Structure 1
């Protein structure tokens, strides 16, 4: 589902060129759940943005469901995201002039789904915000905005869901509710799930963890399976 080979990312600063990501190579299979973990500033969110086609690689290859992201311009990447990708932003990225329900509906409307409003009404109940459906983002708490952003990412039932700190702004009860939604989509719809998190409990629920350290993919761990007799 996701294939990367020698992916690097460089940016230009006042002090010269800075390489944020060292050559990174790994694959994610269809339906797999993967957590990208590591210290702040290690390159986790940068890598996630590249995998989702939100930014261009400086070198290397990324294939998303067989499509070469590394050769596409922004328009082509946007089209591919609309067809296959859901993304939960750490900073919400809600449209301030739209209500919570309208924000959730937006990706479905862009995709031309005729039942966009019905889907939005169903999913806003799943994240416990039906009583806030007609409120605007500036009338919602940070945790409520995060739940709207999560619902928006779910509405098109994407083949691949990327999430940047999906439970970072939620209390314990709502964190568990969102975790259940994430893994239900992953399991029931065979949606590939790739998330960045500092939450060890959430990371441990994934099939695999990728450890980032100073722009390098330094370690991969797979969820342990208990074998009788060991």
Structure 2
């Protein structure tokens, strides 16, 4: 990434994504350019099928684009193989999903410890306990996901995402499966932790009220990004 762009968490230039179908090639994303500053919160909105989740997957290095450049935390994601992208995700990125994505056979504490253990942290338990206390779940450490409510599971997922202090957090419809009260609590946590840790937050959501809490808002329309 050029020196003038080092304050950017993400830079996207000319991003295209095409997939083969029985009827020929389908273009999902076309000509996407995007700059996201370090510590910024940005919401990506738009109708179903517009390409929001595809964009998020490409930005996080979970998939490769057909063409274009993606600089993530100053590193050229578009030039990396899968092993290199996985290494970058492990060092710089956190994820929160609509479906929580917790490991059912692990307790809340063990779920939050998992990324710390994978990173070789010696104080994984202490950091996981502290983060679960931070999200109001110190009394649920030994509970398994099926013993937790939806709101509690998403708070465990938030604790797991933030425990490694990622530079960039990607959240895909993080309140989509929650009722209004739990949605509000999860939203507050996301933005509190975003500000406290100076974490760049990239949020995909259908919820316009949630989107309005972000510093920047863009909309996906037929595979293109438009400012709001």
What TM-score, normalized by structure 2, do the two folds share? 0.90
Superposed displacement of residue 133, structure 1:
2.4
SS in 2 for 1:12: strand
Distance (whole Å) between structure 2 residues aligned to residue 184 and residue 112 of structure 1: 27
The answer to whether the aligner puts 1:53 opposite 2:47 as a matched pair is: no
Correspondence for 2:158: 150
Distance 1:140 1:32, change over 3 A: same
Worse overlay, 103-112 or 139-148: 139-148
Superposed displacement of residue 178, structure 1:
1.9
Correspondence for 1:202: 210
Equivalent pair of 1:12/1:18 in contact (CA under 8 Å): yes
Distance (whole Å) between structure 1 residues aligned to residue 162 and residue 110 of structure 2: 14
Distance (whole Å) between structure 2 residues aligned to residue 108 and residue 130 of structure 1: 18
SS in 2 for 1:147: helix
The answer to whether the aligner puts 1:32 opposite 2:26 as a matched pair is: no
Superposition pairs for residues 1-230 of structure 1, below 5 Å? 1-217=9-225, 219-221=226-228
Q: Deviations over 1:183-220 (max 9, x none)?
A: 12222221111100111121111111010112111x21
Equivalent pair of 2:99/2:177 in contact (CA under 8 Å): no
Distance 1:213 1:103, change over 3 A: same
Distance (whole Å) between structure 2 residues aligned to residue 113 and residue 177 of structure 1: 29
Runs of 4+ aligned structure 1 residues displaced above 6 Å come to none
Distance (whole Å) between structure 1 residues aligned to residue 79 and residue 122 of structure 2: 32
Unaligned runs of 5+ in 2: 1-8
Correspondence for 1:224: none
Distance 1:180 1:143, change over 3 A: closer
Equivalent pair of 1:9/1:59 in contact (CA under 8 Å): yes
Superposed displacement of residue 97, structure 1:
2.1
Equivalent pair of 1:150/1:166 in contact (CA under 8 Å): no
Q: How large is the Cα RMSD of the aligned pairs? A: 1.5
Distance (whole Å) between structure 1 residues aligned to residue 30 and residue 39 of structure 2: 27
Q: Aligned pairs, how many?
A: 220
Unaligned runs of 5+ in 1: 222-230
Distance (whole Å) between structure 1 residues aligned to residue 68 and residue 50 of structure 2: 19
